[in-house]
Structure 1
Amino acid sequence: MKFFIRRAVFYVITAWAAVTLNFFIPRLLPGDPVQSLLSRYQGNIDVNAVKSLRVLFGLDSQKPLWQQYFDYFGQLFHGDLGISLQSFPTPVSEIIGQSLPWTIGLVGMSTIIAFVLGTLLGIVLGWHRGTKWDALIPLTTFFSSVPYFWIALIAIAVFGVNLGWFPLSGSYSPDVMPGLNMSFIASVCYYSFLPALTIVISSIAGWILGMRNMIVTVSSEDYVTVAQAKGLPESDVMFHYAARNAILPQISGFALSLGFVVSGTLVMEQVFSYQGIGYRLLQATSNNDYPLMQGIFLIITFSVLIANILADIVYALLDPRTRKEA
C-alpha cells in the first residue's frame, strides 16, 4: 500500500508542476497573442475589443499574476482549455477532440502491434540465439537506425507514386460521408495503411532488440536452469520463466510509448498530411497559437502520466519485489 501511496503523491506533484509550467511558459515567450489575432483579422475586429480579448485569453494585465494562475486552474477543472487563435473563436477542447481520435486510432494501434510483434520475435530470437534466427538481427539493427520519416518517404515513393496502390496524403477519401458506416471505415483504414506501416517498421526493431537482449541475460539465471532441469516443456520455460522476467523493462518502455501516442508521430503526420494531434501541434507552433499549444502540451503531459501510472501498477503486479522495496 505504501508503494501506491508514494507513487500517487509523486504523480500529483508532477501533474501540478506540469500545469504550472504550462501556465508560465507561454507568458514568457516573446510576442503578444492578442495583437497577433488583431493583425490577422485586421478590419474585422474592433480595436476597442483588445481588453475583452485579453480577458478571454486569460491575459488581463489588470489582474495580478497569482490571480491569473488560480483562474487558470479553475478553467482546467471545468474543462476549459481556452480559445484557439488560428481558429478563433473555436474552443481548444473542440479542436483537440476532433484530432485526438485520429492519432489514438493510428499511432496507438500501430504502437501496440509493433510492441506485441517485436516482443514475441525478441523472445524467439533471444531463446534460440546462435541459430539461423540470428540472421534477422542485422535486418532489425538496420531498421532501428533508419529515421522513420525516411521510411515514410520511401513508402510514399514506392507504394503511392510508382505503384499507385495507396493515396499520398489525407485521412479518408473526400468522396465518402464521415460516420459509422462501412464506406467511411474502409476509407480510413485504406488511407492509414501507409502511415501505420511506417510506424510499425520503424519501431518494431527496437522492441525486438530490447527483448532479445533481456532474454539472453535472463536465460542464464538459476531459476531458468532449474526449470529446464525439471523437464518442463521448452515453451513453458521460455514464456513463463524467462519471458515473464525479461519483459519488465519492456513494460516501462511501452508505457512511455503509449503516453507519447497522444503527441502523435509529428513528422509522420506532416509527411502524410494526416489530421492528428501532432499535425495540429505543428500548425499551432507555426501560427503562434499559444492556447492550442498549451492545451496540446497539457494533454500530452497527462497522457504520459497516466501511462506511467498504469505501468507502475502492471510492474508491481508482475514483480512483487518493487512493492517490498518501496
Structure 2
Amino acid sequence: MVEKNYYVRRIAQALVTVWAAITFSFATVRLIPGGPMDYIAAQIRQRSGGAVSSTRLNQMVEMYSNVNPDKPMLQAYVEYIVSVAQFDFGRSIFYAQPVWDVLGPAIPWTMFVSLFALVIGTIMVFLIGGFLAVHEGDAWDIVGSYFVIFSDAVPYYIVGLVLLFMLGFGTEFFPNGGRYDNALTPGFNVEFMASVLRHAALPIMSFALTSWGGLEFRAHCTRIIGEDYVDVAELRGLPDSRIQLRYIGWNSMLPMYTGLMAGLASLFGGSVIMEQIFRYRGMGFYFYEATMARDYTTVMAAVILFTIVTVVGLLIADFTYGFIDPRAGHTQRESFSRSYRERLQRFLNRLRGGGADETETETETIDDRIEGNRISASGAMSFDVDSSDFSRGEYIRERIDQSLLTPFRIIWTSPRARVGAIILGVFGFLGLFGPYIVPEVRPMQGPILLQPLENMRYPLGTDDIGRDLLAQQVLATRPMLIMMLSGAMFTLGLAIFFGVTSGYLGGVIDKVLMTVTDVMMNIPGLALVIVLAVILEPKSPVFVGFVLAIDNWPRLARQLRSQVLTIRGESHVEASRVLGLPTSSILSKNVMSRLMPMLTMGTVGSMRNILMESVGLYFIGVLPFTTSNWGVILNIARNGGALSGMDRFHWLLAPILFIVTMTYGLQLFAQGTDRLFNPRLRARHAATVSTDDMEGGRGGSEGGDGAASAAD
C-alpha cells in the first residue's frame, strides 16, 4: 500500500509540474502587456502590409499561438491545455510550419548526445573516483583530487570551444558542425552511423569531461571500503577485481543514481548553448533560433517539452531505484516530520520523568542544554560575558578574535580554502581598483593581434583592432562580481524563505511551499531563464543576477528544509519553544546558526552557477550587451574569427583564463569553508577560548579533526 501511494504521489507531482509549465506558457503568451501575443500580432501586420482586419488578425494569432485574444480567459486556457495535450503547440512564425514538426524530430538528436555523454561521464566517475579511493592519502589521490575539482570548475561550453579549435578546426576528422554529412542518405547503415558519431563526438566529449562528480564517488568508495562486508569478502578470498567492482564500485554508485538521472535533465537543458557552439541541429538549436527570432510559440513549446523530458527522467530514476538497490524501499526515501504536539508531549514527558524515553537517553539536564558550553555542538559561539570576570576591552578582543581572526586561521590551515581565498581576493581587488589601474580600452591603442607576452605593456596581447585584452578582462570583473553577488543574495533569500519557513512551520505551509519548490526544481532552469531574459531584457548586472537566481534557489531550499526538519526536533529548540521565546529569536539563535555551513556553501555555489550561466548566455547573445562582460568578449572573439587560427586564438583564451580561474577559486573555497563551522577547529584556533573549553570541544572527537584534515 505504501509503495502504491508513493507511485501515485510521484505521478501526481509530475503532472502538477507539467501543468505549471503549460500554465506559465499560457500566461506568458496571453497576459504580459506588450509581450508575445502583441509581438505575434505585430509580425502578422508587418508581413501583411497592415491590410488585415481585426477579426482576421485574431484568427491568425490563434492559429499561430493556440490562444484567441477575443475568447474569455478560462475558455482560452482550457482550449490551450487540450491542444498541448494533443501535442498541438500552434504554428511557428519563424519556420512557417507546425511547431511539433520543428521540435519533434529534433528531440532524438539531443537525447542521443545527452545519453552518450551521461554514459561516458559515468564510466569516468567509476574509474577515476574508484582509483582515487584505492590510493587514498597518497600523491595520486592529492593530484587526482585537484584535477577533479578543476574539471568540475570548467564550464562545458569552454571545453567545447577548446575542443572545437583543437580537433574541429585543427583536424579534418571531426566536423565543425551539423548532425551528419549532407551527402549521405539517412538510414541504419555503417557509413551513416559513423558520420553521426563523428559529428556528435565533440559535443559529447564537452559534456562528459565536465558533467560528473568524481570526488563524490570517491567519498562513497572510501566509506564503503571500511564496511564489514568488504572485510568479510577479503577474508573469504574473493578476487580483488570482484571486490572492487561488485562490492565497492556498485554500492558506491547507488547513492549517485538519482543524481545521474537528474544530470541527464541538466545536460538536456545545457544543449541550448552547446548545440549553438557546434551548430548541432537538436532541440536546443531550434530553441535558440526561435528565441533570437522572437518566435514565442516555438519558444514556449520548447519549455514545455524540456519540462516533460526532465520530469520523465526523474520519474524513471525514482521508480527504478528500488529495483537497482533492494535495500532502499520508497518509504526510506520519504522524509516525514512529527507534529508539534507530539514533540511537545515528548519533551514534557522527559521533564516529568527526569529520565530517558524508549528511544533516547538524556545525558544532560534541560538547564544544561539551555545554558550550553561556550562552544556548542552546532559550532555557534556563545558570547555571554560576566562583567565580573571580563573587562569591556577583553570582551571586544574576544569578539574580534571569534568573528574575524579565528575564521582566517581556519581558512589558512586548509590548502584548498587558502588557495581559493587568495584567488577570490585577487578578483575582489581587481573589481574594486582595477578600473583605476588599467588604461582605458580604445581601438588602436596597441598593435593589431599582438601575441601574449610579446610586449609586456599588453601581457595578454591585443584583439583585431588593437585593444588591450588584459584591460578588457579587468574592466569586466566589477560587473561580473556585482552580478554574482546580487544573484547569490537573491538566491539565498528565496532559499531561506521557502526552505526554513516550510521546515520550521510544517503542516499546510510546508506542503504548499515545497510543492512550489519542487515544480520550480523540475522545470529546466536554463530554458526558463532564457525566456525571462528575452521578455524582460535585463540590462543592469543586478537585474541579470536576479533573473539568473531563478535557476539556483530551489535545490538549496530543499536542502535547507531537510536540515531544519532535523534541527527543530532537537531538545534545545523544544526548550526554547516551551519557555515562550519568540519565533524570530529561535530561528536566529537556534536554527540559523546551525545552517551556516550549508548557507555558506550555497552562497559560493550560487555565485559559481550564476557566473557560468551568465557568461554562457552573454556568449550566445541571449542577454543584451549593455556592460563589459567576459561572455560578451567571448562572443566578439568568436565572431571575429578567434577559432580560425593560432594567431587569433589568444583573443578567445584571455576571457577563458579569467573565467576558469574564478570558477576554480570558488570551487576550492567552497570545499574548504565547511571547516569554519567545525566547533573543534574553532576551539583549536581561537586564541581567547579557555583551555577547559578547548578540551571540551575536542573531547572524544579527535577522529573528526583527522577526517577534516584528510579531506584537504
TM-score interval, normalised by the smaller of the two chains: 0.7 to 0.9
Deviations 1:157-213 (A, max 9, x none): 22233344432222222333334444433322222222222222222xx33222112
State the partner residue of 1:20. Answer: 23
Match of 2:352? none
Q: Is residue 189 of structure 2 the alignment partner of residue 189 of structure 1?
A: no
Amino acid at match of 1:176: L
Tell me the alpha carbon deviations over residues 120-172 of structure 1, each in whole angstroms, 9 at most, x when there is no partner: 33223223323564243332222221122221111122223334443222222
Of the three residues 155, 161, 169, the one matched with 1:153 is 161
Q: 1:28 to 1:108 in 2, by over 3 A?
A: farther
Most deviating of 266-275 and 232-241: 232-241
Query: In 1, distance between residues paired with 2:274 and 2:181?
Result: 19
Ranges in structure 2 where 5+ consecutive residues have no aligned partner:
335-712
- 1:139–1:260 distance in 2 versus 1, CA, 3 Å: closer
The residue that corresponds to 2:529 in the other structure is: none
Q: Which moved more, 1:94-103 or 1:260-269?
A: 260-269
Partner of 1:202: 210
- Cα distance per residue 1:197-242 (max 9 Å; x no partner): 2222222xx3322211221233234444444455444334333333
**What is aligned with 1:323?**
330
Give the direction of change, closer, same or farther, for the CA distance of 1:180–1:241 in structure 2 (3 Å limit).
Answer: closer
Q: Is 1:254 matched up with 2:260?
A: yes
Q: Show the 5 A alignment for 1:287-302.
A: 287-302=293-308
Q: Residue 75 of structure 2 corresponds to which residue in structure 1?
A: 67
Question: Does residue 302 of structure 2 align to residue 283 of structure 1?
Answer: no
Query: Where in structure 1 are there 5+ consecutive unaligned residues?
Result: none
Residue range with higher mean Cα deviation, 32-41 or 190-199:
32-41
TM-score normalized by structure 2? Answer: 0.42
Q: CA deviation at 1:46?
A: 4.9
* Cα distance change on mapping 1:225 and 1:39 into 2, 3 Å: farther
Q: Which residue of 1 aligns with 2:185?
A: 177
- The match for 1:109 is 116
CA contact (8 A) 1:106 1:196 kept: yes
Letter in 2 for 1:292: T
Q: Is the 8 A contact 2:45 2:52 kept in 1?
A: no
2:134 & 2:183 partners in 1: Cα distance? 50
Aligned position for 2:176: 168
- SS in structure 2 at match of 1:63: coil
DSSP 3-state at the match of 2:213: helix
Structure ID, larger Rg: 2
Cα pair distance change 1:183/1:264, threshold 3 Å = farther
Label 1:300 to 1:164 Cα distance change in 2 as closer, same or farther (>3 A). same
Partner residue of 1:119 out of 101, 126, 136: 126
In the other structure, the counterpart of 1:54 is 61
Task: Quote how far apart the aligned CAs of 1:47 are.
Answer: 1.6
Q: Tell which deviates more after alignment, 1-10 or 278-287.
A: 1-10
Q: Which moved more, 1:178-187 or 1:292-301?
A: 178-187
Residues 18, 304 of structure 2: 8 Å contact kept: no
Contact 1:264 1:276 in 2 (8 A): no
* Residues in 2 aligned to 1:240 and 1:180: alpha-carbon distance in whole angstroms: 36
Distance 1:241 1:182 in 2: 38
Equivalent residue in structure 2 for 1:237, among 239, 243, 259: 243
- SS of equivalent to 1:150: helix
Q: Compute the displacement of 1:118 (Å).
A: 1.9
**2:317 equivalent in structure 1:** 311
Percent of pairs identical after alignment? 28
Partners of 1:107 and 1:264 within 8 A in 2: no
Deviation of 1:295 after TM superposition, in Å, equals 1.3
Give SS of 2:74's match.
Answer: helix
Answer yes or no: is the 8 Å Cα contact 2:58–2:69 preserved in 1.
no
Normalised TM-score (structure 1): 0.88
CA shift digits 1:275-303 (9 cap, x unpaired)? 11111111111122121112111111111
Q: Partners of 1:8 and 1:166 in 2: how far apart?
A: 42
Q: Is the 8 A contact 2:21 2:303 kept in 1?
A: no
1:4 maps to what in 2? 7
Counterpart AA for 2:177 = S
Q: Secondary structure at the match of 1:263?
A: helix
2:95 is aligned with 1:87: yes
What amino acid is aligned across from residue 208 of structure 2 in structure 1? V
CA contact (8 A) 2:269 2:284 kept: yes
- Please say if 1:97 is aligned against 2:104: yes
